[in-house]
């Protein structure tokens, strides 16, 4: 193929960390393959980075510290935004769109929290704001939801969508490693966010779930209504009890469209070890999506890391380049996949969901405490499915209970009453238990 004769697409990269640097490297490594697919080369002509030393990079690109140099450069057609955060990133992206440049971003926080402001700017200027890499790293889940499943009404989706969290839970379960020690390794491997509390407290997963729920159900982005709970309270003891009961603990993002409204929630979850999601380990992400026509489909792959995320960034660049080469100026589809959103779908409060629960209750080892707990649960219409009560020869022992389905509000009432008992010696650990049809 003669690359000389073809037009090249001019790219600017803002932010040259793990994902920006990885995207540049991928264009170099797979440049020939991309040229064959596209029929034209992609040329990085501008880079903005505060830390990059030009001497360390073999490129003709002009390098500056200021991202506005990139978005205001007349020759740049597509801007990759891999700076992260909101400030100055929001303004950098807004300016690029206003300048008529397509933007590809890996920034899930920006899309989840400010996408409702940025998508209209993209639309007004007839450019794409593409964000495949913002959810689940290398897995093309945005494409799957927005295009592959476009003929379906999506009923629910559930996924492991934070690689760092899954890596930590897997290492704790399989190698009995300590939480903090695994987190440091995840940071060294480039999986964790700049602020790793985003990973372990579920904020990163909530950003991704917010985005997926909007595309799945055709609702505006509503990050502030996504219930968010992290994994930092999960103990090796809980992982052990879950295993004894036939479950694994995974940090899931769950979105479900019900008659009462939409559920959007991120929290640790017990799932039967026989289920596909229970077997996704390490930095792996997986999203199970149920469409009313297709049934259940599973998307599995690496959810973080430079090359995997770059794979999704460059796929967006290729899509836009194809559109440009075909002479199509306007994006081929709305950013969230719906021209007319569903206005009437309200997001439910967490108290209104109904599921099964794992409870670990620290009690003083005295006669009668189990009877009192059972009676409280019964008064709240919560029935017990299984109990583990260990003889530990210690003053405080854990009672572990698996419940049948119950409404969260009633469980809250029961937990408050249980914690008020004299012989309950600490806070009750509650983990939701879910079962997803993966066939
Ligand atoms: N910190 C994120 C994760 C990176 O661990 O999944 C990918 O979004």
In angstroms, what is the span from residue 230 Cα to ligand 1's centroid? 14
| pLDDT over 90, % of the chain | 86
Judge if 76 and 162 occupy the same domain: no
**Could you give the dihedral angle defined by the CA atoms of residues 408, 409, 412 and 413, in that order, rounded to the nearest 10 degrees?**
-140
| pLDDT tens, residue by residue, 356-403 | 999 999 999 888 999 999 999 999 999 999 999 877 667 889 999 999
In angstroms, what is the span from residue 233 Cα to ligand 1's centroid? 19
Best mutation site among 132, 199, 284, 312 for ligand 1, i.e. most ligand atoms within 8 A of its Cβ?
Answer: 199
Judge if 202 and 56 occupy the same domain: no
Cα–Cα distance, 19 to 191 (Å, whole number): 10
Ligand 1 close to Cβ of residue 163 (< 6 A)? yes
| pLDDT over 70, % of the chain | 98
pTM over 0.85: yes
Q: What is the pLDDT of residue 392?
A: 65
Judge if 111 and 174 occupy the same domain: no
Q: Is residue 123 part of a domain?
A: yes
Which atom of ligand 1 is found nearest the CA of 162? 6
Judge if 86 and 148 occupy the same domain: no
Indicate left, alpha or beta for 191 from its phi (over 0: left) and psi (-120 to 50: alpha): alpha
Ligand 1 close to Cβ of residue 193 (< 6 A)? yes
Judge if 148 and 292 occupy the same domain: yes
Q: What is the pLDDT of residue 190?
A: 83
pLDDT of 4 strictly over 70: no
| pLDDT tens, residue by residue, 180-219 | 889 999 888 888 888 899 999 999 999 999 999 999 999 9
Confidence of residue 6 (pLDDT cuts 50, 70, 90): low
114 touches 45 (CB < 8 A): no
Best mutation site among 22, 164, 171, 310 for ligand 1, i.e. most ligand atoms within 8 A of its Cβ?
Answer: 164
pLDDT of 239 strictly over 60: yes
Judge if 163 and 281 occupy the same domain: yes
Ligand 1 close to Cβ of residue 137 (< 6 A)? yes
Domain count, the chain: 3
Which atom of ligand 1 is found nearest the CA of 137? 7
Judge if 122 and 166 occupy the same domain: no
Judge if 17 and 59 occupy the same domain: yes
Judge if 270 and 412 occupy the same domain: no
For 20-85, what is the HEC assignment? HHHHHHHHHHCHHHHHHHHCCCEEEEEEECCCCCHHHCCCCCEEECCHHHHHCCCCCCEEEECCCC
Judge if 155 and 289 occupy the same domain: yes
Judge if 153 and 270 occupy the same domain: yes
Active site members: 208
Domain with 409 in it? 353-433
């Amino acid at each position: 193929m003669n690359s000389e004769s073809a037009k090249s697409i001019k790219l600017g990269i803002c932010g040259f960390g793990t994902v920006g640097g990885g995207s540049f490297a991928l264009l170099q490594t797979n440049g020939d393959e991309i040229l064959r697919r596209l029929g034209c080369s992609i040329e990085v002509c501008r880079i903005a980075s505060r830390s990059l030393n030009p001497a360390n990079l073999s490129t003709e690109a002009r390098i500056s510290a200021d991202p506005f140099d990139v978005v205001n450069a007349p020759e740049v057609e597509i801007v990759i935004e891999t700076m992260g955060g909101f400030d100055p990133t929001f303004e950098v992206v807004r300016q690029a769109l206003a300048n008529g440049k397509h933007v590809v971003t890996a920034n899930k926080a920006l899309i989840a929290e400010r996408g409702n402001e940025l998508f209209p700017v993209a639309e007004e200027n007839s450019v794409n704001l593409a964000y495949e890499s913002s959810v689940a790293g290398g897995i093309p889940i945005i494409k799957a939801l927005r295009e592959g499943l476009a003929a379906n009404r999506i009923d629910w989706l559930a996924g492991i969508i934070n690689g760092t969290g899954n890596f930590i839970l897997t290492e704790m379960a399989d190698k009995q490693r300590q939480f903090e020690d695994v987190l440091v390794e995840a940071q060294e491997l480039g999986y964790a966010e700049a602020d790793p509390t985003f990973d372990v407290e579920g904020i990163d997963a909530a950003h991704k779930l917010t985005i997926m729920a909007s595309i799945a159900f055709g609702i505006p982005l509503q990050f502030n209504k996504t219930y968010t709970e992290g994994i930092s309270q999960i103990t090796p003891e809980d992982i052990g009890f879950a295993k004894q009961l036939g479950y694994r603990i995974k940090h899931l993002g769950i979105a479900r469209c019900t008659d009462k409204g939409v559920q959007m929630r991120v929290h640790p979850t017990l799932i039967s070890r026989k289920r596909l999601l229970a077997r996704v380990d390490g930095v792996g992400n997986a999203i199970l999506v149920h469409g009313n026509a297709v049934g259940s489909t599973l998307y599995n792959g690496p959810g973080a890391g430079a090359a995997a995320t770059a794979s999704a960034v460059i796929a967006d660049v290729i899509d836009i380049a194809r559109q440009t080469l075909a002479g199509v100026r306007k994006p081929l589809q709305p950013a969230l996949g719906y021209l007319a959103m569903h206005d009437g779908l309200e997001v439910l409060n967490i108290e209104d969901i109904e599921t099964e629960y794992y409870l670990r209750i620290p009690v003083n080892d005295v006669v009668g405490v189990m009877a009192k707990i059972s009676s409280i649960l019964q008064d709240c219409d919560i029935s017990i499915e299984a109990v583990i009560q260990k003889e530990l020869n210690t003053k405080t022992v854990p009672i572990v209970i698996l419940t049948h389905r119950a409404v969260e509000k009633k469980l809250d009432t029961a937990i408050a009453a249980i914690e008020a008992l004299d012989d309950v010696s600490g806070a009750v650990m509650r983990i939701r238990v879910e079962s997803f049809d993966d066939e």
